[in-house]
């Protein structure tokens, strides 16, 4: 890698990170501090500590958990069995969904001048993932449109995330991603490679396709059963607070083709997965990909972000689970 490219890549990585992320990253590169930091996060994610941190969230779940209906149970069973489940918004919610409204709100965010310029130049300015533009990013300053909140903070969605995690979850991350198509000669980087996320013991990630996604659009590809506790849960495990990036050839030699789930689908497709399992995606080779993305995690998760709603009146109608998820002001 040329010196200029190395400097640019690391400068972009720094820009996209919070102070705590930067401090953690530096600490992991300095021995013996790295050993102390890793021990700290191993203890944090150990069952006893994790349960203590999530005492309130576990108690909340016992008080508000409601029976799941068939679409919710099917989704939860898929997550528990395979670590991934694909459906559609309409099938999951059981009602017609105004997909056009979601897409219009996403387009409005992506049409802001700074992002429009990045899309036109086909290069993101945030972080090392030059191939994806994020509407919110890792330092969210803009409010969440009502259409996003209606879906991502709905009791139906939260009930599945909470049941899988075993706690009343937090909305850890929310964004709109627009992936450019890349040249075949561009080497895959970051989340285009097989990896495990590392910010919690389990992470429920939800992708809503806002565009049609085929094999040339960089679909999420998931190793079935690689979620923690699954049959491949210990294959190339994370090393808290770091994730895992196993060698492609070695991983694929150990997983048969029918052990991979390629989550293509039309606009309106809904993909649920545990991001602590082995997955990759985002390497679009012909067609761009636009997603609405949400991640749900426990109170023990690293780097929880906080969001505010565009419509202040929406706070008044949030359920207790939704208020907890978004850390809304006390009523």
Length of the chain: 331
- 174: part of which helix (H) or strand (E)? strand 170-179
Residues 208-253 pLDDT 10s: 999 999 999 999 999 999 999 999 999 999 988 888 999 999 999 9
DSSP notation for 22-49: HHHHHHTTSTTHHHHHHHHHHHHHSHHH
Instruction: Output the CA torsion sign for 20, 23, 27, 33.
Output: negative
3-class SS of residue 233: coil
Phi-psi region of 196 (alpha: psi -120 to 50; beta: other; left: phi over 0): beta
222-to-36, 38, 59, 136, 168 alpha-carbon distances in Å: 32, 27, 32, 25, 25
Look at 181 and 209; give whichever has higher pLDDT. Answer: 209
Backbone angles phi, psi at 112, to 5 degrees: -60, 145
**Structure-block tokens of residue 213:** 């996604």
Local confidence band at 27 (pLDDT 50, 70, 90 cut-offs): confident
DSSP notation for 279-306: EE---BSSS-EEEEEEEEE-TT-SS---
Whether omega before 47 lies within 30 degrees of 0, making that bond cis, reads: no
Model pTM score: 0.93
What pLDDT is stored for residue 2 in this prediction? 52
Instruction: Output the CA torsion sign for 272, 218, 22, 277.
Output: positive
Local confidence band at 317 (pLDDT 50, 70, 90 cut-offs): very high
Domain boundaries, the chain: 3-326
| Sheet (strand 289-297) strand order | 84-88, 269-274, 204-209, 289-297, 170-179, 132-134
DSSP H helices in the chain: 3-15, 19-27, 33-45, 47-53, 55-64, 70-82, 89-93, 99-110, 113-121, 146-152, 155-165, 248-254, 320-326
The CA-based dihedral angle spanning residues 10, 15, 17, 23, taken in that order and rounded to the nearest 10 degrees: 70
Residues 114-141 pLDDT 10s: 999 999 988 888 767 888 999 999 888 9
Q: Which residue has the tokens 């060698």?
A: 247
What pLDDT is stored for residue 6 in this prediction? 45
What pLDDT is stored for residue 7 in this prediction? 47
CATH architecture assigned to 3-326: Sandwich (2.60)
DSSP H helices in 111-203: 113-121, 146-152, 155-165
Local confidence band at 179 (pLDDT 50, 70, 90 cut-offs): very high
Asked whether the predicted pLDDT for residue 202 surpasses 90, the reply is yes
Query: Which residues touch 286 (CB under 8 Å, ≥6 apart)?
Result: 181, 216, 217
3-class SS of residue 178: strand
What pLDDT is stored for residue 17 in this prediction? 60
pLDDT average, residue stretch 78-82: 99
Note every long-range contact of 94-102, with CB atoms under 8 Å and residues 24 or more positions apart, other chains counting. 94/69, 97/151, 97/268, 98/147, 99/210, 99/267, 99/268, 101/147, 102/147, 102/148, 102/151, 102/208, 102/210, 102/292
What pLDDT is stored for residue 242 in this prediction? 86
Closest CA to 251 of 280, 273, 281, 274: 280
In the beta sheet, which residues pair with residue 171?
A: 296
Asked whether the predicted pLDDT for residue 57 surpasses 90, the reply is yes
Local confidence band at 18 (pLDDT 50, 70, 90 cut-offs): low
What pLDDT is stored for residue 76 in this prediction? 99
């Amino acid at each position: 890698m040329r010196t200029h490219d190395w400097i640019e890549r690391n400068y972009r990585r720094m820009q996209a990170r919070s102070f705590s992320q930067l401090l953690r990253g530096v600490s992991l590169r300095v021995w013996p501090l790295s050993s102390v930091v890793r021990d700290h996060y191993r203890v944090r994610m150990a069952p006893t500590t994790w349960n203590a941190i999530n005492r309130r969230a576990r108690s909340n779940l016992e008080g508000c958990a409601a029976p799941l209906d068939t679409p919710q149970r099917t989704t939860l069973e898929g997550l528990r069995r395979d670590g991934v489940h694909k459906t559609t918004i309409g099938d999951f919610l059981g009602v017609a969904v105004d997909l056009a409204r979601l897409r219009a709100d996403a387009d409005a965010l992506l049409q802001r001048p700074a992002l429009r310029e990045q899309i036109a130049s086909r290069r993101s300015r945030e972080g090392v993932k030059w191939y994806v533009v994020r509407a919110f990013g890792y330092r969210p300053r803009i409010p969440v449109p009502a259409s996003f909140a209606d879906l991502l903070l709905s009791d139906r969605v939260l009930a599945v995330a909470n049941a899988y995690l075993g706690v009343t979850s937090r909305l850890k991350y929310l964004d709109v991603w627009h992936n450019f198509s890349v040249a075949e000669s561009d080497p895959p980087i970051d989340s285009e490679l097989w990896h495990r996320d590392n910010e919690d013991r389990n992470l429920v990630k939800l992708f809503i396709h806002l565009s049609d996604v085929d094999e040339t659009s960089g679909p999420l590809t998931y190793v079935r059963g690689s979620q923690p506790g699954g049959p491949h849960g210990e294959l190339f495990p994370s090393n808290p607070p770091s994730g895992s990036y196993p060698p492609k050839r070695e991983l694929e030699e150990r997983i048969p083709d029918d052990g991979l789930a390629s989550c293509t689908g039309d606009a309106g497709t809904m993909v649920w997965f545990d991001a602590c399992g082995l997955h990759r995606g985002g390497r679009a080779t012909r067609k761009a990909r636009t997603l609405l993305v949400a991640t749900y995690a426990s109170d023990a998760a690293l780097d929880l972000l906080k969001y505010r709603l565009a419509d202040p009146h929406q706070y008044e109608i949030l359920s207790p689970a939704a208020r907890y998820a978004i850390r809304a002001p006390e009523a």
